[in-house]
């Protein structure tokens, strides 16, 4: 396998734009690794399909009974790597789970930026795990 296609992930959550963040993190990981190239679907030998099944935010540290200081975002992904010619599954993980804590900011915009940064960290970590999992099969 020398070339894969990575389409934008399916996003079953309310985290707008997460589908692009996760796909881009995986494209970056493949590009950085240099073992398998990322190409258009027409030129691909394999296709990595991803689906963001959930992205839940929970409070984890409280300053008082009604105000949280830290929150946690937990993401569950489904990833399936198939041959492009016959759709045979070469690798899959249907429940990849990763979480990251983030700080509640002084204003809602800061909290949103902190949550988005936590999602980027999750996407990077999961992209590394996906890449390693796929390479183990070759």
Say whether pLDDT at 114 is over 80: yes
- What stretches of the chain show up as alpha helix (H) in DSSP? 18-33, 108-136
Contact yes or no for 98/122 (Cβ under 8 A): yes
pTM above the 0.85 mark? Answer: yes
Say whether pLDDT at 106 is over 90: no
Q: Which two tokens stand for residue 96?
A: 């990849």
Q: Let me know the angle formed at the C-alpha of 21 by 17 and 22, rounded to the nearest 5 degrees.
A: 115
What class does CATH assign to 3-136? alpha beta
Give the model's pLDDT for residue 138: 73
4-63 pLDDT per residue, tens: 999 999 999 999 999 999 999 999 999 999 999 999 999 999 999 999 999 999 988 777
Give the model's pLDDT for residue 50: 99
Domain ranges of the chain: 3-136
User: Average pLDDT, whole number, for the chain?
Assistant: 95
Q: Which two tokens stand for residue 47?
A: 């296709």
């Amino acid at each position: 396998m020398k070339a894969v296609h990575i389409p934008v992930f399916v996003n079953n959550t309310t985290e707008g734009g997460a589908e692009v963040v996760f796909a881009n993190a995986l494209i970056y990981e493949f590009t950085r690794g240099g073992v398998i190239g990322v190409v258009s679907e027409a030129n691909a030998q394999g296709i990595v399909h991803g689906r963001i099944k959930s992205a839940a935010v929970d409070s984890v540290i409280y300053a008082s009974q009604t105000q949280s200081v830290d929150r946690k975002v937990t993401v569950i992904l489904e990833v399936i790597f198939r041959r492009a010619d016959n759709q045979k599954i070469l690798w899959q993980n249907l429940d990849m789970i990763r979480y990251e804590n983030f700080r509640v900011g002084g204003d809602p915009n800061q909290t949103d930026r902190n949550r988005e940064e936590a999602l980027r960290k999750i996407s990077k970590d999961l992209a590394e795990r996906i890449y390693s999992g796929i390479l183990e099969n070759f």
